[in-house]
Amino acid sequence: MTSPYAPHTDAETEAMLEAVGADDLESLFDVPESVAFDGEFGIPAHGEREARREAAKLLRRNDDLTEFLGRGHYTHYVPSVVDDLASRSEFLTSYTQYQPEVAQGFLQALFEYQSMLVELTGLDVANCSMYDEATALGEAATLSQRVRSVSGETILVPDHLRDGKRGVLANYADGPGLTVESYPMADGQADIAALAERMDGDVALVYAETPTVRGVVEERLADIGELADDHDALFCLGSDPVALALLERPADVGADVVVGDAASLGTGTAYGFGLGMFVTREEYLRQVPGRLVGASEDSDGRRAYTLTLQTREQHIRKERATSNICTNQAWVALRTAMHAAWLGPDGLVDLAEDCVTRPRDLAERLDEVVGVQAPVHDGHHFREFVAHTDQPARAVVEDLAAEGYAVHEIGEHLIQVATTEVTAEAEDGLVGAIAEVAK
């Protein structure tokens, strides 16, 4: 089979070969015999319909479960208009905006995305994306080493942290020789006294999350910011755009960098596919990793947009670049901006408030169930909470899967339940199923 996406007719191929003076296609390859591949991959070709069937057949083996899952990857309802507009080929099939005169549309959309993050965080500079929350945290750690006022080499992270995030951070910390250490939690929130005890001149960055991976709203962020400031360390805060619509502004609690997964708006559950937010203070502008869109003027004197401050980047600065990132998550950012605009500030705040009341109400209902105590942590929750089960958590989770529900197992007798408007209608069923299996 020839490639269906190469338009050449046989006659055209012949004419083109003649034009370049080649006998056949194979003679165009200047590959020495000794390394030439004369075998086969053994991958059969398919018609388009058959290729779709083949993929659907593979994926059909996924169990159909109603997911009450979160811990960093969330689903909110994404309006149809986001899919519709983001799928326009001028957006979807374009490249990085190296020729801004023909890429004003995407540049403006990214400029708007950056601006939304500036409003949500109260900080000055947002880049137009990192891969995900974990790699954004890794970049924040390396940023601390380029900031002159910071001298330490230790990165402090909360004890309640996703393993995946900790793992990625460890790889980013490896090159510059940073040490990653955990500080303890007290009832699901940062243990401020213990953190204060640990702080010294070797700390380069303190990381905290709100909500935490267990869904708890951190109540003493300003104290963490102050501790970091007192020791000339950066304060990096992890959150997401929905939570930021309601919770304290990072700028007001002394955050120097905000990271997080912004795909919680615009992209539903997609097996961990994310969008790394990276927002920081103006003073660190020239140390920011990744792409930045700025406003300028064109030859007609009208405002126009372009990628800017590219001397920070790998294609100019090579080994002295702020990061090796090239391809980012621009199209995911486009979707996030569309979704945020569709909601508007009212809709976004309503959604965030629902993320507070919904898990609270569900936890209350589960607390009534025999064999379950919920929530385990005092304090306010966002989207999710941890519950204690008298039965082993593993058995509870497995029995729930048999009933068609997925929740997290996070300890011997601890499960975690996340709920948003997307699972609203399934909550009754979940409560009933847990009542059956948790006795």
Question: Which amino acid belongs to residue 71?
Answer: R
Spatial CB neighbours of 83, under 8 Å, sequence gap ≥ 6: none
Question: Are 427 and 72 contacting, i.e. CB atoms less than 8 angstroms apart?
Answer: no
Which residue, among 416, 413, 367, has the nearest Cα to 393 in the 3D structure? 413
- Residue whose CB is less far from other proteins, 198 or 339: 339
DSSP conformational letter for 249: P
Q: How far is the CB of 212 from other proteins (least distance, A)?
A: 14
> CB 376 → other proteins: shortest distance, Å?
18
Q: Which is nearer to other proteins, 47 or 197 (by Cβ)?
A: 47
Taking the least distance from each CB to other proteins, the nearer of 231 and 408 is: 408
CB closer to other proteins out of 110 and 228:
110
Distance CA 353, CA 8 (A): 57
Provide the CA 402 distance to its chain's centre, in angstroms: 30
Least Å distance between CB 372 and other proteins? 20
Residue with smaller CB distance to other proteins, 92 or 193:
92
* Contact between 352 and 242 (Cβ < 8 Å): yes
Task: Answer for the pair 74, 382: CB distance below 8 angstroms, yes or no.
Answer: no
Backbone dihedral angles phi then psi of residue 65, each to the nearest 5 degrees: -115, 145
DSSP letter assigned to residue 216: B
Q: Cβ of residue 93: shortest distance to other proteins, in angstroms?
A: 4
- What interhelical angle do 330-367 and 104-121 show, nearest 10? 40
Encoded amino acid at 115, one letter: S
Residue given tokens 């920070």 in the structure block: 312
Phi and psi at residue 14, to the nearest 5°: -60, -45
Residue whose CB is less far from other proteins, 89 or 370 = 89
What's the min distance (Å) between Cβ of 359 and other proteins? 11
Nearer to other proteins, 298 or 436 (CB): 298
To the nearest whole angstrom, how small is the minimum distance from the Cβ of residue 233 to other proteins? 22
- The distance of closest approach from Cβ of residue 67 to other proteins in the complex, given in angstroms and rounded to an integer, is 5
